Each structure stands twice: as C-alpha cells, then as structure tokens.
Amino acid sequence: MNATPAFDNDKYIALQSSAIRERAQRFGNKLYLEIGGKLLRDLHASRVLPGFEPDVKLRMLQSLGDQIEFIVCAFAGDIEHRRYRADFGTTYDAEVLRLVDDVRARGLAVRSVVLTRFDPSMRAAAAFADRLRQSGLAVYLHSAIPGYPGDVDLILSDEGFGRNPCIETAAPIVGVIAPGPSSGKLATCLSQVWHENRRGVPAGYAKYETFPVWNLPLSHPVNVAYEAATADIEDFNQIDPFHLEAYGETTVNYNRDVAAFPILRALLTRLLPPDQVYRSPTDMGVNKVGFAIADDARVQEASRQEIVSRYLKGCADLAMGRATEAVVGRLRAIMAATGLKDADRPVVAPARAAAAAGEAEGKGFNGICCGTAIQLPDGSIVTGKNSRLLRSPAAAILNAVKRLAGIPERLELLPKAIVQSVTDMKSGILGRHSSNLNVEELLIALAISANMNSIAGLALQKLPELRGCEVHMTHISSASDAAGMRRLGLRVTADPRFPTKSLYTGR
C-alpha cells in the first residue's frame, strides 16, 4: 500500500488557522465559529482522506491559543432519550463529557454547555444539566423557537432569540462544538450574534465544516461519501444557488446550510454594515480542506470504499432494528448512482468464500458457517471460519497476526487445554449457547499463551499493526466481538444475517 499521505496535515493547519483569524478580524474580533463534523476522532475524514489525522482539527485550533474558547451544544432530546453514538459505542451525554475533557486536555477553554430545544418536562436532561453545574460548568437551557427557521421576524425578537439567555464569553473567537449532528450549533451561534449586537458588540458568524468540500465537484466521491455518512439525517449536497447567482461560480454546499441561509442573511442585514453581510452559504464557510489534498486519485478510491462500507453497515443496522428502510433506500440509491456494488469492497468476496468453503467442508458451529476476512496493511487478505473453538473474527485475527509475524498458519499458538477449559466453562458453568471464543477471549488466551510460548508472544506483538485494517464478516457480530474489534481499531462491515438459528441473539 502507498505509505505517502494523500492529505497534507501541516498545510491544512496553516491555511485553516489563517482563514479563521482573518474572519475574526473582519467582524471586529468577536466571531462565533460553528464547528461542524467531529472535532475529535474524525474517523470518517481519516477514511476518505488517507493521511488525515483524526484530531488534526483540534491541533489546528490549538494554534489559535488564548484567542479561542468553546461552547458545547447538545440537543436536550438526545440526552433525554439516551441517543447512542454507534461509532464509539457511547451515549450522547457521555460524549459531551468526553468532549469537554478532551478539549481541556489540549489546554483550551471550555466554560459553557448549552442544551438546545430544552423542555421543562425533560427530567433526564435536567438532571444532566445539574451534573454539569456541579462539575463547575456554566449551563444554559435554550428552548425551541416556534416557526424556526422560517419566521424571521419572530426569531429576531424578544420572543425568539430573546428568550434564550445570553452565554457569557471572553475570547475573540468562540468555537461552538457538539457531540453529533442536529445539536443546534447554528441556532446557538445566531442567538449569540443577536445578543452581542444588541449590547453593542459587532459580533459575526462563520462556519468551519469539513464536508462537503465546497471546491470539489458535486459528484466527487468525497462529497458523495458525505451524503452516505449522513443518510440517517437526510442531508444531501447541492450546488449553492446563492453563490452561483452572486458570483457566477459553481460551489457545493449541503441542504441545511442552503435552507438556513436566508435566516442568516436577514439577521446580518439588520445588524451589520452591508459589506459584512454574506452573499452565499459558501461565503460563510472557512473550509480549506480541499486545498490540502495531495493525491486526489487515492482520495477518490478511499471515498468509494467508504460509500460501500456505509451501505453495508446500513443493511446490517436495518436487520438489527437500528436503521429504517428509508435510510437504506437512500444508501442503495447512492450505490446505484455511483455504479458501486458491495463486492467492490475487497474483503467482502473472500469472507463469503470462506463461509462457503466451511459449509462445503461440513465445518462451522451449531449448524452455521461464518466467514471473516481482514485486509492487512500490505493489501493481502487473510480469512477465518468459525469452529467449535473459535468464532470467525477471532480465527481471522489469529491468522492475521500469524501472517504478520511470519508464523506458518498450521502452527498452533493457543494450547488446546486452555481453549477447551474456556469453552467448557462457557457452556457448562455459564450456560452460554455459544461457547466458542469471541475476540476478547481470544486476546486474553493469546496473552496467557505468550508467557509460555515465545512464538505466541511474537504474534501478540503484531496486534497493533491491525489498527485501521478493513474487515468483513458474513454475519452480524456479537456485542463482545464488536467491542474487541473496535478496541483493535478494525474497520468492520457485515452481511445482514445473524450467526444463529435462534430469534434471540443476545448471547
């Protein structure tokens, strides 16, 4: 595989930080900066832009030093209903706390959290607000504004933004961040601009968003991959009609920014001099990511792979009840429009072939044959099949570290007595339906074996090299397998089938 990054992080930091400073100066050094996407652990960006450091955005913001502070936004409904963030396996309230801790750990100031669209009946959200206050954070509760975003006169009044308490800030640049999409960042920024200007501070607004990339074509795979990533919230990319009309230039934006632009323009028209009013959604952005792409061909291929992965994950989520048919329909339409098939993901066909071979050989476990394939850093692919002793992802991981360590596949690394002892305990004492070793149990068994077998120790040392490797399974993984693979940093997709004949899959 090509070791040269397709994305230049240093160039990105220099361009992006300079653009933010210039935008703050334009508004008299009081800028509310809506930060879209993931500030930390931006795994989507790192997948579609090979070489993009998942935390590079925060590293860039660090370069602004004491010129920036942060407000964390969260939709109160996400807290109330314990919305789950699938990529990290955590709830949104936990992500708010982690976001505060991570930003502060970089030496940056976070003083305030705002819960948007809050209703007094939300007991869990109110309890979370109390918890935040006890930790020393200022907490602001913003209620929903009737008619938002269409009723501009109401929004720009005491009964609109005026109902929201003004968030006290000190730094010239205020980054507004959130644990996920639809958290209310834009409304919070606009509310603050309204309050600031009412008290004589000529504050402005700008948006720092990674995707879609405004200066790439609408059909560019990196922009299409963004649509696939946001299929669940019904975002879609479009040509910015305001920019086209104002400048005669074709740029890309997404539907929510285009829909919200008349509100922003009406607000700024009433508050700012004419030369400071944005003429298009593209104007309000400060996104320089497109200028730091060093290898467009690799970015396009990585983005196509992301589209296929999103489709496969959507199908599996539908089978598990975590997605709707409408979401999968949108993903299916994106696949068709780009001419992609699920087998275009290199690990899909080998995984299915491994399962078919296991079935032909009469192998498997409890009448089910499962296959898992892993693409190693050099591009080669290893597979694993389930058996009485190992689940298919555990078998594939064991074969992968053998390959990386140059250990012959026929050589056994795990003493059969240890594996048998664990499986007997699971089936006998614990009464588990599935007694073969899952990924986490495999790793523990391998660590135990390493104390007795130097070759097993060599294989154990190769586990970090699996981080970022692509994986496909012919069946949906159990929670324990999923957790183990997530900790190893594997990028996993699965066919929408369960590895059991039982309707109950909790075991």
Q: Indicate whether 38 belongs to any domain.
A: yes
Strand ranges inside 23-67, DSSP E: 31-35
Work out the pLDDT band at 87, boundaries 50, 70, 90. Answer: low
List pLDDT tens digits, range 119-158.
999 999 999 999 999 999 999 999 999 988 778 889 889 9
Helix%, strand%, coil% for the chain, nearest 5: 50, 15, 35
- pLDDT tens readout for residues 310-326: 999 999 999 999 999 99
Split at pLDDT 50, 70, 90, the class of 500 is confident
Omega of the bond prior to 120 within 30 degrees of 0, cis?
A: no
Look over the chain and give the mean of its residue pLDDT values, rounded to a whole number. Answer: 91
> Exposed, middle or buried: residue 437 (CB in 10 Å: 0-12, 13-18, 19+)?
buried
Q: What is the pLDDT of residues 391-443, one digit of tens each?
A: 999 999 999 999 999 999 888 888 777 777 777 776 665 556 567 889 998 99
Quote the pLDDT of residue 432.
60
CA–CA gap between residue 143 and residue 157 (Å, rounded): 14
Q: End of a domain among 172, 193, 208?
A: 208
Closest CA to 244 of 206, 296, 292, 279: 279
Between 426 and 165, where is the model more confident?
165
- With respect to residue 281, please indicate whether it lies within any of the assigned structural domains: no
Give dist(CA 402, CA 418) in Å, integer.
19
For residue 378, pLDDT over 70 is answered with: yes
For residue 182, the tally of other CB atoms under 10 A from its CB is 16
In a domain, 248, yes or no: no
Band of pLDDT at residue 505, cut at 50, 70 and 90 = very low
Could you tell me which of 310, 264, 302, 296 has the C-alpha nearest to residue 283?
264
Is residue 300 included in any domain, yes or no? yes
pLDDT value for 501: 61
Tokens 């790439």 locate to 216
**The pair of three-digit structure tokens given for residue 418, joined into one six-digit string:** 């240890």
Clarify whether residues 174 and 98 are in a common domain.
Answer: yes
Name the nearest CA neighbour of 261 among 288, 282, 289: 282
Tell me the CA distances in angstroms from 216 to 52, 321, 451, one per residue in order: 17, 35, 53
State residue 218's pLDDT score: 97
Nearest to 257, CA basis, from 278, 282, 277: 282
- Report how far residue 219's alpha carbon sits from residue 244's, in angstroms, rounded to the nearest whole number: 17
If DSSP codes are grouped into helix, strand and coil, which group holds residue 80?
helix
CATH code, 427? 3.40.140.40
Amino acid at 372: T
Same domain, 305 and 366: no
More confident residue, 83 or 237: 237
Residue 316 is predicted with a pLDDT of 96
Same domain, 374 and 436: yes
- Pairing label, strands 381-385, 371-375: antiparallel
Is the predicted pLDDT of residue 100 greater than 90, yes or no?
Answer: yes
Domain containing 328 equals 296-342
Structure tokens at 390: 């190992």
Does one domain contain both 332 and 437? no
Per-residue pLDDT tens digits for 25-67: 999 899 999 998 888 889 999 999 999 999 999 999 999 999 9
Q: Among 165, 191, 208, identify where a domain stops.
A: 208
Which of these ranges, 32-46, 58-72, 79-93, 474-488, has the smallest mean pLDDT?
79-93
Q: Are 223 and 217 in contact (CB under 8 A)?
A: yes
CA 472, CA 494: separation in Å to the nearest integer? Answer: 5
pLDDT on residue 430? 58
Q: Are residues 384 and 317 in the same domain?
A: no
Least confident of 20-34, 64-78, 422-436, 488-502: 422-436
Number of H helices, E strands in the chain: 20, 14
Q: Residue 507's pLDDT is what?
A: 41
Token pair in block for residue 275: 């030369």
Assigned domain for 57 exists: yes
Residue 266 confidence (pLDDT) above 90: no
In a domain, residue 216? The reply is no
Average pLDDT in the 192-213 region?
92
Considering the domain boundaries, does residue 417 fall inside one? yes
pLDDT (0 to 100) of residue 431? 55
- For residue 280, give the amino acid letter: S
The pLDDT assigned to 302 comes to: 97
- Here the tokens at position 281 are 């959604």
| Spatial separation of the C-alpha atoms in residues 488 and 463, rounded to whole Å | 7
In the predicted structure, residue 503 carries a pLDDT above the cut 60: no
- Residues 331 and 376 occupy one common structural domain: no
Looking at the fold, whether 356 and 315 belong to one and the same domain comes out as no
**Same domain flag for 187 and 147:** yes
- Tally the domains of the chain: 3
Q: Let me know: does 213 contact 223? Beta carbons within 8 Å.
A: yes
Q: Of residues 366 and 124, which shows the higher confidence score?
A: 124
Instruction: Kindly indicate the confidence band of residue 83, based on its pLDDT and cuts at 50, 70 and 90.
Output: confident
Q: How far apart are CA 239 and CA 217, in angstroms?
A: 9
d(CA 167, CA 188): 9
pLDDT number for residue 363 = 86
Residue 34: CATH number of its domain: 3.10.630.10
Both 50 and 95 in one domain: the answer is: yes
Same domain, 61 and 200: yes
Asked which of 152, 177, 208 is the last residue of a domain, the reply is: 208
Q: Looking at the domain assignment, is residue 423 inside a domain?
A: yes
Query: Are 338 and 352 in the same domain?
Result: no
H-only helix segments in 320-435: 325-338, 348-360, 392-405, 416-424
8 Å CB contact between 370 and 385: yes
- Sorted by sequence, the CB contacts under 8 Å of residue 145 that are 6+ apart come out as 154, 155, 160, 161, 163, 187
Among 89-93, 228-232, 446-450, where is mean pLDDT lowest?
Answer: 89-93
Answer yes or no: do 420 and 300 share one domain: no
* C-alpha to C-alpha distance for 115 and 98, rounded to whole angstroms: 16
- Distance CA(187)–CA(96), nearest Å, equals 18
How far apart CA 265 and CA 240 sit, in angstroms, is 14
Three-state SS for 114?
strand
pLDDT of amino acid 28: 87
What share of the chain in percent tops pLDDT 90? Answer: 73
Q: What pLDDT, on the 0 to 100 scale, is given for residue 159?
A: 93
Amino acid at 480: S
